Amino acid sequence: MIFIIAAAVIFLDQLTKFIVTKSLILNQQISVIKGIFSLTLVHNRGAAFGILKNQVPLFVFTSIIAVGLIYSELKNKGNRTVYSIALSLILAGALGNLIDRVFFGYVIDFLDFHVWPVFNVADSAITIGAVLLGVSLLKKKD
């Protein structure tokens, strides 16, 4: 089940990025909910919040290491726990953004809530996975 979740997230991430890149030009913004949410095509050449711009080899290397470690952990503990689901979401998000970096040299972002930097489905999966991971680790301490 965890690999189905990861595959579904990667597919959705890449599909949405494909649709957005075919529908918008760079930095074009289409308002979905006026003043709250837009689709805005951005090429993120850095890490979270655009830090460490143009460090593609560093990002690719660290992503590959992270993917390997997460995959190893999932292989050893592959079950349906919140912990495993969290790791599968983080794995999928890392792979989705890694695909962009390898093929384009940047990450395609497009979800724009105007109060937060523009992000994508992979970033959302990483964030949700990190929250679930934190919850699962806190529950284990009880």
* Catalytic residue ranges: 109, 123
Give dist(CA 39, CA 32) in Å, integer.
Answer: 7
| Sign of the C-alpha dihedral computed for residues 98, 63, 124 and 118 taken in this order | negative
Give dist(CA 121, CA 19) in Å, integer.
Answer: 13
Give dist(CA 101, CA 45) in Å, integer.
Answer: 8
